[in-house]
Amino acid sequence: MDWLTLSGRPALVVGAGGLGGASAVALAAQGAPVVLVDLDEERLESVSRAAKDAGGSVRTIAADLRSARRCREVVAEASGLAGVPQIFVHAVGRNVRRPVLELGDEDWRAIVELNLSTAYWLGRAVGALMVEAGYGRMTFVSSVSGLLAHADHAAYAATKGGLNQLLRVMAREWAARGVTVNAVAPGYIETGLTRDHLDRDGNREALESLVPARRLGVPEEIADAVTFLSSDRARFITGQVLYVDGGRVLV
């Protein structure tokens, strides 16, 4: 039985890094025809191979999403490749770890544009299609930084807090049209993008000590939550931020 009801449901996943890539593979393994978007073509190819190994299929689009126009174009292109998205996952983001007084204007602008503006531009474009169709499952990758006041995370935390409110408004406006909008908020996850930071200056041990589960998460644990929220098993869940953090926000 297709317990998660994902077979044949077109999915658009934006961001092929650790969390987005794992989510694309998980959705494809459940039978969803996935279109994956990222700027890095090697990363896209790697995720596509992993999806094939898992018994699924991922088509790819290489694109720089840092403009509203390009975001709209990519949504239209993805719709042509796999059909109007019934599942949407936004997993794009970056961080610059600097104190507020050392954070440059360009750093602020670039992080807000990539982390938050792309979520709005893409979410609005996909949301219009889902509202018209009367069905949709949207999941944004947020962070515990949207709730906790981590030092040296000002721009990143601001974008994740803003993202949490953005999705709540989308959820409120679109709930009656069959569209759910939620987020998963990872705690400390080990990915290829975070490994260098974790391996320096005792950072891994310091972070593990803050997590009640006493370990870091892995991308597949985020992908499991994304897959659930993308399914009809979560049809009455909307406007929520699901913390997948080993208990980090409890302490």
**170, 148, 143, 173: which is closest to 159 by C-alpha?**
143
How far is the C-alpha of 180 from the C-alpha of 82, rounded, in Å? 20
Global pTM reads 0.96
Amino acid at 110: A
* Segment 10-56, tens digit of pLDDT: 999 999 999 999 999 999 999 999 999 999 999 999 999 999 999 99
| Per-residue pLDDT at 105 | 97
How far is the C-alpha of 169 from the C-alpha of 65, rounded, in Å? 22
Element (H, E) at 64: none
Helix axes 118-133, 68-82, angle to 10 degrees: 40
Sequence spans of domains, the chain: 11-187+219-244
Q: Is residue 120 annotated as a catalytic residue, yes or no? A: no
Q: Is 208 exposed, middle or buried (0-12, 13-18, 19+ CB in 10 A)?
A: middle
| Per-residue pLDDT at 1 | 52
How far is the C-alpha of 188 from the C-alpha of 204, rounded, in Å? 9
* Segment 92-131, tens digit of pLDDT: 999 999 999 999 999 999 999 999 999 999 999 999 999 9
**Residue 201 — pLDDT band, cuts 50, 70, 90?**
confident
The active-site residue, picked from 120, 135, 156, 188, is 156
How far is the C-alpha of 196 from the C-alpha of 212, rounded, in Å? 23
How far is the C-alpha of 23 from the C-alpha of 117, rounded, in Å? 21
Cα dihedral sign for 1, 25, 142, 201?
positive
Superfamily of domain 11-187+219-244: NAD(P)-binding Rossmann-like Domain (3.40.50.720)
